[in-house]
Structure formats: C-alpha cells, structure tokens
C-alpha cells in the first residue's frame, strides 16, 4: 500500500494532491467521507488543479478541471458539464488504516 497522508490532514471540504510517480492522485473529504481519484481529466488527460491542492470549484461543491472548466461530482467523479460531459474521473480505491489514507501500490 502507498500512504497518502494522515487522515486528519485532509480537512472537511478540502482537497490534496499527491504527485506519485506515474500515478498522480488527489483526495477530497466531503461530509466526512474521503474520495480519491486519479489526477487526470478524462478530456485531455491533463492534471486538474488550479494551484497546488486546489481541485474544487469556488464553493467547494464540485471538482473542476482548471484547463477547460469541466465539472465533476465529488461522490462519483461523474462529469456533469464541460467537454467530457457523461464521462467520469477514475476512482482510486483507498483504505483508512492507522489513521492514514492508503491506496494500493
Ligand atoms: S482538459 Fe479538462 S476540461 Fe479540457
């Protein structure tokens, strides 16, 4: 398993990026739940964030791609609007063990 971070480092309503070699991912906490996705827009495959660790739209309700503005549901990764509408982000399975967020190697 790969350790991303202590679970309490990811605060409610926040996102964090992890530049793992060959497998960039980001994590979000919403309503107490943790979600992890590959950091790749289904449109062009580019990374999504506006600035380091900023993956959400202005009100923190949706994931937004900084390149062409596609909007994704936090819970499902489903693209609601933008050039990849109907497509989805790639979800990454994770576990929380010993207060750490971990993903498969
Ligand atoms: S690269 Fe993400 S919407 Fe175009």
> Rounded to an integer, what distance in angstroms lies between the CA atom of residue 29 and that of residue 16?
9
CATH code for the part of the protein at 2-103: 2.102.10.10
pLDDT at 16: 98
Q: What is the pTM of this model?
A: 0.97
- What's the token pair of residue 4? 């991303």
How far from chain centre, in Å, is Cα 16?
8
Distance CA(83)–CA(68), nearest Å, equals 8
Q: Count Cβ atoms below 10 Å from residue 83 Cβ, excluding itself.
A: 15
The CA-to-CA distance between both ends of the chain, in Å, stands at: 5
| Spans of all domains in the chain | 2-103
pLDDT, position 80: 98
Indicate the average pLDDT of the chain: 97
Q: Tell me which of 37, 39, 44, 80 to substitute to probe ligand 1's pocket, judged by most ligand atoms within 8 Å of the beta carbon.
A: 44
Strand-pair partners of 97: 100
pLDDT tens-place string over residues 52-97: 999 999 999 999 999 999 999 999 999 999 999 999 999 999 999 9
């Amino acid at each position: 398993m790969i350790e991303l971070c202590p679970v309490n480092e990811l605060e409610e309503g926040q996102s964090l990026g992890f530049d793992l070699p060959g497998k960039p991912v980001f994590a979000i906490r919403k309503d107490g739940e943790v979600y992890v996705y590959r950091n790749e827009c289904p449109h062009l495959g580019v990374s999504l964030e506006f600035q380091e660790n900023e993956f959400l739209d202005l009100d923190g309700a949706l994931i937004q791609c900084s390149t062409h503005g596609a909007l994704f549901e936090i819970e499902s990764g489903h693209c609601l609007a933008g050039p990849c509408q109907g497509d989805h982000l790639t979800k990454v399975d994770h576990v929380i063990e010993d207060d750490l967020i971990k993903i498969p190697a």
